[in-house]
Amino acid sequence: MTTKLSLDLPDSLAQALAAKHPSGDLHEAAAHALLSYLDPKHLHAERNLAIRAAVQGGQSRGAVAKKFNLSLIRIHQIMAKP
């Protein structure tokens, strides 16, 4: 069972929300934000998986840091976690 939720957001808020998600998709960004609100540990889980995949896929850690707006040290920390 699923429930639909409809929101009326100002364009600037919708664009800012979408821009914060790696996919750039407003719907995915909103779903991620709501899940993160319910389970804060979930906040960076998907992002960290995307970071690991990017580095393991051959992207430099510096490029990944820039793409996700994180420090290179943070990328190293994420990669060091099991």
* 33 and 56 share one domain: no
Q: Which whole number is the average pLDDT over 58-72?
A: 96
**What's the pLDDT at 32?**
84
* 74 and 49 share one domain: yes
Q: Residue 52 has which token pair?
A: 């690991």
Q: Residue 58 has which token pair?
A: 């051959």
- pLDDT tens for 30-64 read 988 888 889 877 778 888 999 999 999 999 999 99
User: Closest by alpha carbon to 76, among 52, 44, 50, 40?
Assistant: 52
**What's the pLDDT at 41?**
77
**What's the pLDDT at 42?**
76
* 51 and 68 share one domain: yes
4 occurs within a structural domain: no
**What's the pLDDT at 82?**
80
* 53 and 66 share one domain: yes
Domain assignment of residue 53, given as a range: 45-80
Q: Residue 42 has which token pair?
A: 């979930």
Using DSSP, state whether 30 is helix, strand or coil. helix
Q: Please state the domain count of the chain.
A: 2
